Amino acid sequence: MSGEDIERFTKWQIIQHALWAFAFLTLLITGLALKYPENFLSQAVIGTLGMGLRANLHRFTGVIFWIVGIVHIVYYIAIDRGSKPILPSLQDGKDIVQDIKYHLRMSDEEPKYGRYTWIEKFDYWAGAAGSFIIGITGLAMWQSYGGPAGFGGANLLSGLSLQVYNWFRLIHGWEAILAGSVIVMLHFYMAIWRPGNFPMAMQIWTGKMSRHHYEIEHPLELEELDKGKK
Amino acid sequence: MRGSTKVPLKKCVLLIVLATLILAAGSGPVSGAVLAPTGAGYDANLCVDCHSDSSKVDDTSAASDWMDSIHSENDIGCERCHSASVPSGRLAADDAFGGSYRDDHVDLILEEETSYKAPSAFEIEGSTTDYSTVVSVGLERQQSVAICARCHGLTEIDPDDPKDVFQDYIQSAHGQSVVVRGLGDPSKVSDHTGLTDAAVCVDCHDPHATATKDDPDSPTHEDNRFELCITEACHGGDEVTAKYGMSNSLTSYAETQHGVIAIYGSADDAESVPACADCHKNIESSHKIQPASDPDSPMNPANIAESCADTDCHGVELSLGAGSMHGKDADTTIAGLINLFYTIIIPPIVGFFALYILLDFTLLIGKKGGE
C-alpha cells in the first residue's frame, strides 16, 4: 500500500492556494520594487513593467488577495462547519518543544503530527495576521487617493492626516518584509528545498500525497484515516 | 480776476507734451528713446562685437549665450542690464547696482595701445557719458531682482502680459525672503526677509542665455524644473535647508511615491507625477511659490485635497488632511516606534527559522547518508 496516494487537499483549497500564491508573489515583487527602487532587481522590475503597470498590477493583485481572503474566511466560518484542525492547540506547544529538542539532537524522538505540523500552522496564522495588516493598510492608502470603484464610502483614512498615511505606508512595507522573509525562507524551504520534497512538494497542486510521505509527515492523521474516523 | 495770469495756449500744449515725455522717460522700460538698443543710437552689437572676440575678452560665453537668447530675439540689448545710465524706474540706482559701477571701459580708451574703443567713446544722443559707466558683469545675485523688475513688472507695461511677473515674485516665499521691505505686501514680510539664499531671477533664468519656459533647453521648462529646485545651493542642499529649518527636498521627495516614480521610472513615468512646481506654484503664476503655511498655497492643509483632485492629477479629492507629502513626518515618535518594533521582531524570527532550516537540512541529509 506504500504506493497509494491519499487525498490531502480539495480542489477548492488548491484553487485558493494558487490564487493566493500568485497574488502574494506579485504583490511582493511589485511592492518591493517601489520600496527599494535603487536595488538592481527593483530596477529590472521597473524597467520591464514601467511604473504605471507596476502600480496597476500591485492594485489588481491586491484585489485578488482581498477577495481570496474574504471568501476563505466566510467559507470556513459560515459554510464549512466541520472541525478546524488548523486551529492552534496546546499540543502545538508540546510539539514545538519536542521538535526543537529533536533538531538540537537532545532527543531522538521526532514529534508525531496530525493534519498540520506546528510550522504549517505558524505559516498559516502568521500569514493570516500579516495579510490582514497589509490588506487593511494597503486598501486604506489606495482609498485615500481614489481607490477601487465602489469603495468610495468606506474610506479608512478619511479625515486623518498625512501622518497616518505615512505610518500606514511604513507598516505596510515592514509587514511585507516580514511576510516575504517567512514565506520565501521557511515556506519555500519546506515546500521546495527540503530533502525529500525537492524539487517541489506537489500535494498543494495535485491534492494528493503519497502514503509514504503521509507516514513521515502526518502519521497521526493517517492513523485516523485508516481507522475510518474521518 | 484776482491773481490770474494769462498763459498762451501754445505754451500750455508744449508744457503738457514736455511733461508727458519726461514722465514717459522716467518710467524706464517703456522709454524706448533711452532704452532701445538701436533707437538710442547705440547698437547692442557693439558690445557683442568685442565680447564675442576672444582676443579682446577672456570669456566670450556671455555674448554667445545672449545671441541665442529670447532677449536677443526681442532686441533687448546688453545696456538694459549693464548700463548705469538706464533709468531704473521706481528703484534708485544705488538699489539696483549697489553703487558697484566700474570704469573699465573708461580706462580702456586712456590706453593708447588699445586698438578698439570702449562704448564711452561713442557719442550717444549728444553725450559721451551716457554709457561711460558699465556695470560690472559680476552683479550681485540680489541685484538681478531690481534689474529684471524694470522690464518684468515693476512698472506696469501691460498687466496682461505674461512677462509681468515681478508682482508675483515679490509675493512668493522667495521674493519675500529677498526683496527689501516695502516692495512686497508688508503683511507677508517674514523673519527671513532680506536673506540672500532664496532664489532670485538669475538662479532660475540664465541672465544671458535667457529662454522662455517653453524652450525644452530652458531650466524653467516643466521637464527641467525638478533639477532646478533641488540643487545643492537650494532645496537639495543639507546646509541651506538645515539653516532655514526645511527638509532636504531631494531626500524627502525621493521617499515619496511621486519621487520614486520620478527618479527611478522612465521619462513617461516621470511626467505622470508632480515635481516641485506642480504642487507648490500658485495656480495663477509659477513665480508665486508659497510656503505651505500660506492660506493661498495649493499645499496648505486646507487646499491639499482640492489641489490633488486636479483633473491632471488624481481626479478625485483626497481624503488626506494636514501633513507633509515629503515624508518628513515619518520622523515622528510613532513612526520611530513602528520602525523600532519591526527592527526588533524581524531579526529573531528570521534568525530562528534560518537556524531551524539549517538544523533540519543537516539532520535530513545525515539521515539519508545513514540509510
**Is residue B249 a part of any domain in this protein?**
yes
- DSSP E strands: which ranges in chain A? 5-7, 208-210
CA dist list (Å): B46 to A218, B138, B148, B204, B355: 97, 20, 22, 28, 82
pLDDT at A217 over 50: yes
pLDDT (tens digit per residue) in B223-235 = 787 888 888 888 8
pLDDT at B43 over 70: no
Would you give the DSSP letter of residue B28? -
Using the CB atoms, write b or e for A120-136: b if 16+ within 10 Å: bbbbeebbeebbebbbe
Q: Are B35 and B80 in contact (CB under 8 A)?
A: yes
Q: How far apart are CA B145 and CA B136, in angstroms?
A: 16
Between B157 and A58, name the one with better pLDDT: A58
Beta-bridge partners for B102: B134
Contacts of A182 in chain B (CB under 8 A): 349-350, 353
How deeply is B109 buried, as exposed, middle or buried, from its count of CB atoms within 10 A (0-12, 13-18, 19+)? middle
Q: Are B328 and B212 in contact (CB under 8 A)?
A: no
Least confident of A72-76, A80-84, B9-13, B112-116: B112-116
pLDDT value of residue A158 = 58
**Is residue B42 a part of any domain in this protein?**
no
- Counting residues of chain A whose pLDDT is more than 70, the rounded percentage is 90
pLDDT average, residue stretch B330-350: 88
Which of A163, A178, A193 has its CB closest to that of B323?
A163
Q: How far is B135 from chain A (nearest CA, A)?
A: 48
pLDDT value of residue B83 = 54
pLDDT value of residue B233 = 85
How deeply is B337 buried, as exposed, middle or buried, from its count of CB atoms within 10 A (0-12, 13-18, 19+)? exposed
pLDDT at B133 over 50: no
pLDDT value of residue B119 = 40
Q: What is the overall mean pLDDT for chain A?
A: 88
pLDDT (tens digit per residue) in B12-30 = 443 343 333 333 333 333 2
Select the highest-mean-pLDDT range: A79-83, B137-141, B164-168, B309-313: A79-83
Which of B260, B263, B361 has its CB closest to that of A195?
B361
Q: How confident is the model at residue A89 (pLDDT cuts 50, 70, 90)?
A: very high
Instruction: Kindly report the pTM of this predicted structure.
Output: 0.69
pLDDT average, residue stretch A74-101: 91
pLDDT average, residue stretch A208-225: 91
Q: Are B316 and A145 in contact (CB under 8 A)?
A: yes
Q: How far is A223 from chain B (nearest CA, A)?
A: 24
Q: How far apart are CA B244 and CA B32, in angstroms?
A: 42
Q: How far is A97 from chain B (nearest CA, A)?
A: 13
- Interface contact A186, partner B, CB < 8 A: yes
Chain-centroid distance of CA A56 in Å reads 22
- Helix B257-264 to helix A40-74 angle (10° resolution) is 140
Q: How far apart are CA B188 and CA B173, in angstroms?
A: 9
**Is residue B315 a part of any domain in this protein?**
yes
H-helix or E-strand spanning residue B322:
none
Alpha carbons within 13 angstroms on the beta-carbon side of residue B23 total 6
pLDDT average, residue stretch A108-116: 93
pLDDT at A59 over 80: yes
pLDDT value of residue B74 = 78
pLDDT (tens digit per residue) in B278-320 = 888 766 677 888 877 788 788 887 787 777 777 677 766 665 5
Between B297 and A94, name the one with better pLDDT: A94
Question: Strand pairing of A208-210 and B101-102?
Answer: unpaired
pLDDT at A30 over 60: yes
Domain that holds residue B239: 230-328
pLDDT at B194 over 70: no
Least confident of B55-69, B88-102, B201-215, B332-346: B88-102
How deeply is B371 buried, as exposed, middle or buried, from its count of CB atoms within 10 A (0-12, 13-18, 19+)? exposed
Residues whose CB is less than 8 angstroms from the CB of residue A181 and which lie 6 or more positions away in sequence, other chains included: B346, B349, B350
pLDDT average, residue stretch B154-177: 67
Joined together, the cell numbers standing for residue B87 give 533709468
Q: How far apart are CA A196 and CA B371, in angstroms?
A: 13
pLDDT at B31 over 60: no
How many other CB atoms are found less than 10 A from the CB of residue A49?
Answer: 17
Which of A50, A158, A162 has its CB closest to that of B325?
A162
Between A138 and B242, name the one with better pLDDT: A138
Q: Are B214 and B75 in contact (CB under 8 A)?
A: no
Between B334 and B115, name the one with better pLDDT: B334
Contacts of A49 in chain B (CB under 8 A): none
H-helix or E-strand spanning residue B229:
helix B225-229
pLDDT at B268 over 50: yes
pLDDT value of residue A25 = 96
**Is residue B280 a part of any domain in this protein?**
yes
pLDDT value of residue B153 = 66
Q: Are B35 and B86 in contact (CB under 8 A)?
A: yes
Do A194 and B361 count as a contact with CB atoms less than 8 A apart?
Answer: yes
Between B77 and A33, name the one with better pLDDT: A33
How deeply is B259 buried, as exposed, middle or buried, from its count of CB atoms within 10 A (0-12, 13-18, 19+)? buried
pLDDT value of residue B23 = 34
pLDDT value of residue A159 = 54
pLDDT value of residue A157 = 60
Q: How confident is the model at residue B182 (pLDDT cuts 50, 70, 90)?
A: very low
CA dist list (Å): A202 to A7, A9, A191, B115: 12, 11, 8, 93
Joined together, the cell numbers standing for residue A54 give 507596476
- Interface contact A39, partner B, CB < 8 A: no
pLDDT at B137 over 90: no
H-helix or E-strand spanning residue B354:
helix B333-370
Q: What is the overall mean pLDDT for chain B?
A: 66
**Is residue B323 a part of any domain in this protein?**
yes
- Virtual CA dihedral for B47, B48, B52, B56, nearest 10 degrees? -20
Q: How confident is the model at residue B150 (pLDDT cuts 50, 70, 90)?
A: low
Contacts of B271 in chain A (CB under 8 A): none
pLDDT value of residue B24 = 32
The structural domain count of chain B equals: 1
pLDDT value of residue B204 = 87
pLDDT at A181 over 50: yes
pLDDT value of residue B3 = 38
Q: Are B276 and B235 in contact (CB under 8 A)?
A: yes
pLDDT value of residue B257 = 79
pLDDT value of residue B207 = 82
- DSSP E strands: which ranges in B82-179? 101-102, 134-135
**Is residue B235 a part of any domain in this protein?**
yes
Select the highest-mean-pLDDT range: B118-132, B244-258, B323-337: B244-258
Which of B257, B320, B357 has its CB closest to that of A185?
B357
The total number of residues shown for chain B amounts to 371
Alpha carbons within 13 angstroms on the beta-carbon side of residue A39 total 11
- Interface contact A85, partner B, CB < 8 A: no
**Is residue B244 a part of any domain in this protein?**
yes
CA dist list (Å): A48 to A21, A25, A52: 21, 16, 11
- Interface contact A131, partner B, CB < 8 A: no
pLDDT value of residue B11 = 43
Q: How far apart are CA B312 and CA B371, in angstroms?
A: 69
Q: How far apart are CA B210 and CA A142, in angstroms?
A: 43
pLDDT value of residue A161 = 62
First to last CA, chain A: 19
pLDDT value of residue B160 = 52
User: What is the SS3 assignment for A129-140?
Assistant: HHHHHHHHHHHH
pLDDT value of residue B203 = 87
Q: How confident is the model at residue B38 (pLDDT cuts 50, 70, 90)?
A: very low
**Is residue B241 a part of any domain in this protein?**
yes
pLDDT value of residue A112 = 94
